[in-house]
Structure 1
């Protein structure tokens, strides 16, 4: 019975350690991306029509020129000097072309005013070609603009919700050109880590080689892993990438403390450690009050009113004692030690900077 109990406890301890290791593991697809599988930015210039008097004014001359050119293509000749409308706005149209997108697929587009239009609500985007960095047209966009806000006002006041000069056309662009890829004919595939790290790259290689029981993967550098496609997956790499993307890897993170002094935000990584150090942190408060003692003469007297200023200064300094912060072996110990000081986040920023200057912070300190 005693031996059975010992074996049971050993199994539970092993299971707990195994669970602790798996709990920190993440999928390979969440920390890396496949080389060549990426988004492409598209951009275009267009017109939004049908606005309720909230379009571009006379100062936006490019809007008038665009209207005249559009009408010219429609077979209507008009002098741009006589165009005076306020229901049209010039906009920049942007979109992201997803990888493996095919002709006929639809994508969302973002419409942003570039003139002095007040509101794009209720407008319709006219047919707009969307081009890539190579100057080729990859999609055509058109449709009603949804702003998700509104703007209304009069001469004295205005009420605006969100940003009515920016809107979205849902599924408003149709893909007309595909991005050529040789994905299926590759003999090797490359994974790029989002956060390059030699330890993480080594762990990824070990996990992949253990999965296939063959030395298929190798790390070219701290951020790139090259994988040789097995013979049975040549010409059919999609199942291979699907199995690779689901592999779980425990990434290694750098010890770093990030400080945002504008918002008073402090973020610490799991690997942050603090050596044993003594800290004393006090607050200095100075309050100045200005009072005036007024001497008012009696009625019908020859006296005059005299105002004597009286300044009151109150200085208070916190009586903080020296506190010993012991060395922390994990992030929880570090947090508990710092919380024992009872300081605010903004005080914590000054403390971390002082700890780093003293050489007791075993982490990088980054101020953003």
Structure 2
């Protein structure tokens, strides 16, 4: 039975007909990309599944946060207010980590899409960095998200959506999914614009996703034949430099027209992928089958070159 499936899949997947592709499906515009941001924050409101006293930095972060809000939790102790024994006890407690069962230290990550503007919202991912058992029911406290240059580009806050579940009782436990990570849809607001050379550059570069000299040459010829020779220049098997209009509106329109042009890309490298578990074979159009005959049981297949 597996042989039959493999044979049928192979015959279906063989294709020798080339087809035109849009340039936008083959290339990326250099500099037009997403940017990663990251931050450290606290998730509050957990029902006893936080870091507790196991992670000292969680208590330190809470102390720093409250201090910034004008709240002091370990101020000086006066003998006028407390007896000698109470003073000693208070001083001992001041050196102990805070009990933070309802709090967890987390890393917050997000991806800012290209050309995103201040005021727009993006999704954020939240993951524990300590010993918290679950983030279910928690809310992220206002957190700064930094870019690779150390600048703050977004602020994140909100209630977490956690799909994982972790429960334990009577010596037994069950865990479904990953309860130590969650997501906040539209949980961050972009605060700073990420500068790109797109608006001021006198040219732009198209990068072919799969390096191929034939595809690069085909794109170059298509642009030059439509807009004039010398407008597009191939740099290597990946990059093509294209002279751009100085006016921003014209530049956007020009790139849009190029992206929607159809070309016949270079033939891909012949490739056959076989999944032995499912008996599926995937063969791209560059594969050529020579004359052959295959016989298995009552099935015979002949391929004439």
Q: TM-score range by the shorter chain?
A: 0.7 to 0.9
Contact 2:31 2:197 in 1 (8 A): no
- 2:107 equivalent to 1:112: no
Offset, 1:214: 4.3
C-alpha RMSD of matched pairs (Å): 2.9
Question: 43, 47, 55: which one pairs with 1:48?
Answer: 43
1:90 maps to 105
TM-score in terms of structure 2 length = 0.77
Distance 1:207 1:84 in 2: 67
SS at match of 2:193: coil
Distance 1:265 1:152, change over 3 A: farther
> What is the match of residue 26 of structure 2?
31
Provide closer, same or farther for how the CA distance between residues 141 and 265 of structure 1 changes in structure 2, counting only shifts above 3 A: farther
Considering only CA atoms, is the larger Rg found in Structure 1 or Structure 2?
Answer: 1
- List per-residue Cα deviations over 1:42-61 (Å, max 9, x = no partner): 11111100011111233222
2:150 matched to 1:154? no
Q: Kindly tell me: are residues 42 and 53 of structure 1, through their superposed partners in 2, closer, same or farther at Cα, counting changes over 3 Å?
A: same
**Map of 1:237 onto structure 2:** 251
User: For the residues of structure 1 that align with 2:304 and 2:138, how far apart are their CA atoms?
Assistant: 62
State whether residues 106 and 129 of structure 2, in contact with CA within 8 Å, keep that contact through their aligned partners in structure 1. yes
1:1-368 equivalent positions in 2, closer than 5 A = 24-74=19-69, 75-78=71-74, 79=94, 81-230=96-245, 233=247, 236-252=250-266, 253-258=268-273, 267-275=282-290, 326=303
Change (3 A) 1:255 1:115: same
What is the deviation of 1:238? 0.9
Q: Is the 8 A contact 2:143 2:157 kept in 1?
A: yes
CA contact (8 A) 1:187 1:234 kept: no
| 3-state SS in 2 of match to 1:81 | coil
CA gap of 1:124–1:327, structure 2 versus 1, over 3 A, is farther
Report the CA distance between 1:196 and its aligned residue. 1.0
Distance 2:145 2:61 in 1: 16
For 2:265 and 2:125, how far apart are their aligned partners in 1?
35
Q: Could you list the runs of 5+ residues in structure 2 that have no partner in the other structure?
A: 1-16, 75-93
Larger RCO: Structure 1 or Structure 2 (Cα < 8 Å, ≥ 6 residues apart)? 2
Structure 1 unaligned regions, length at least 5: 1-19, 282-319, 329-368
Q: Kindly tell me: are residues 80 and 63 of structure 1, through their superposed partners in 2, closer, same or farther at Cα, counting changes over 3 Å?
A: farther
Aligned-pair CA distance for 1:72: 2.5
TM-score w.r.t. structure 1 length?
A: 0.65
Distance 1:62 1:31, change over 3 A: same
Q: Residue 234 of structure 1: CA displacement?
A: 6.5
User: Which whole-Å deviations, capped at 9, do the CAs of 1:116-173 have from their partners, x for residues lacking one?
Assistant: 2121111000111111111111111111111133333313333333222111111111
Any idea what SS the aligned residue of 2:199 has?
helix
Match in the other structure for 2:78: none
After superposition, the Cα gap between the structure-2 partners of 1:262 and 1:131, relative to the gap in structure 1 and judged at 3 Å, is: farther
Distance 1:56 1:327, change over 3 A: farther
1:27 to partner: Cα distance: 2.0
Cα distance in 2 between the residues matched to 1:201 and 1:275: 30
Question: Residues 56 and 97 of structure 2 are in contact (CA less than 8 Å); yes or no, is this contact kept in structure 1?
Answer: no
SS in 1 for 2:207: strand
Change (3 A) 1:118 1:171: same
